[in-house]
Amino acid sequence: MAKRFKAAVIGGSGYGGAELIRRLLLHPDVELVRVASVDYIGEPIENAHPHLEGRTDLKFEGLSPAEAAAGMDVVLLGLPHKVSAQKVPEIIATGARIVDLSGDFRLRDPAVYKRYYGAEHPAQNLLDGTFVYGLPELHRAQIQQAKYVASPGCFATTIELGLLPLARAGLLSGMVETVGITGSSGAGVVPTATTHHPVRASNLRTYKPLDHQHIPEITQTLLSAGAKDLQLSFVPVSAPLPRGIFATSFVHVDEKVSVDEIKRLFVEYYQKEPFVRVPHKRLPEVAAVSGSNFVEVACQPGAVENGRRVVACFSALDNLIKGGAGQGIQSMNLMLGLDERLTLEDPGSWP
């Protein structure tokens, strides 16, 4: 039986592309028709992604964006930052829906984009809200109506979901300090001097401290959700694990807000969310969500000083799935009027 929708992946040879392909091959309603790439052209999918051996007859194709998008209901982009923005106008002209996993359409201010991505944005006319920010836990209704979605970054998703209940309640303001620890797959397929396994396997190191490109994305999102006068100091840390992000954010709330009220905010905000868990008898951990589209969040209210209570907010997810391709598939499902959980409910493995 023919499936209802047709999809293409552009930029399918990387880790994010592998997750997009895997989920689409499992999808009951969306047929993966084409996979475009500048690498492995003419070669079968399993040459780049061995775990997909025997699952598809598709091959990587060297197609223009318009050729890849022709006749498609949706195109999912696994392209690098600054490349995606150059291809999107051509895809828009085909009439296809778009889910973009890059950072090119997350920010609204082209000056901020230039500051953090190091280049002028090539399609500034599309930064006017043409793309909906694809965080279902905040923008589900907008995503359902959207034709173009900018899927959030991995660190951004982790940190935003760890702080969103406080922002929505109007309790998030002032300075927030965050440390985020990430796995090596977030650095992409091609090894570099700092991501190569012999260096990374037994090492912890920071990079882009207080200057990571997800900082303005996180601030923009949380301010739109109800935070006030927000300033984010963020230090990312690379860790010797392939998958996963663990973020710890320290915020300060008015001492009049009780410990029970703070904890209840998290439980109530996420109680109907299909992919966010608030553990009852433990704190979030990477191994509990690795390989899945699930997120774990929790908070730990602490001491009061000068009328403000410190709250430690914890969040953990798989950077390639809920922090990347899985969240893109979740948005695609919503855009197509499908159950957002399709192909995403597997719980991963333990440990």
In this structure, the answer to whether residues 32 and 77 fall within a common structural domain is yes
Question: Within a domain: residue 135?
Answer: no
Question: Is the pLDDT confidence value at 109 over 80?
Answer: yes
In this structure, the answer to whether residues 69 and 168 fall within a common structural domain is no
Each residue's pLDDT tens digit, 195-223: 888 888 999 999 999 999 999 999 999 99
Question: Is the pLDDT confidence value at 1 over 80?
Answer: no
Distance CA(191)–CA(197), nearest Å, equals: 8
In this structure, the answer to whether residues 210 and 89 fall within a common structural domain is no
Question: Within a domain: residue 344?
Answer: no
Q: What share of the chain is helix, strand, coil (3-state, %, to 5)?
A: 35, 25, 40
Describe the strand order of the beta sheet including 60-61 as a list of residue ranges: 60-61, 30-36, 5-10, 74-77, 97-100, 148-150, 132-133
In this structure, the answer to whether residues 14 and 118 fall within a common structural domain is yes
Question: Within a domain: residue 111?
Answer: yes
Each residue's pLDDT tens digit, 140-163: 999 999 999 999 999 999 999 999
In this structure, the answer to whether residues 74 and 214 fall within a common structural domain is no
Each residue's pLDDT tens digit, 235-278: 999 999 999 999 999 999 999 999 999 999 999 999 999 999 99
User: Which residues are tagged catalytic?
Assistant: 154
Element (H, E) at 325: none
In this structure, the answer to whether residues 97 and 174 fall within a common structural domain is no
In this structure, the answer to whether residues 238 and 168 fall within a common structural domain is yes
In this structure, the answer to whether residues 257 and 219 fall within a common structural domain is yes
**Domain enclosing residue 238, as ranges:** 155-319
Question: Within a domain: residue 15?
Answer: yes
Question: Within a domain: residue 264?
Answer: yes
In this structure, the answer to whether residues 120 and 178 fall within a common structural domain is no
- The pair of structure tokens assigned to 304 is 């009061």
Question: Within a domain: residue 248?
Answer: yes
Per DSSP (E only), the strands in 17-157 are: 30-36, 60-61, 74-77, 97-100, 132-133, 148-150
Tally of structural domains, the chain: 2
In this structure, the answer to whether residues 26 and 124 fall within a common structural domain is yes
CATH code for the domain of 42:
3.40.50.720
In this structure, the answer to whether residues 183 and 111 fall within a common structural domain is no
CATH code for the domain of 247:
3.30.360.10
The domain boundary, picked from 75, 95, 130, lies at 130
Each residue's pLDDT tens digit, 66-108: 999 999 999 999 999 999 999 999 999 999 999 999 999 999 9
- Predicted TM-score (pTM) of the model is 0.96
In this structure, the answer to whether residues 227 and 191 fall within a common structural domain is yes
Element (H, E) at 229: strand 228-238
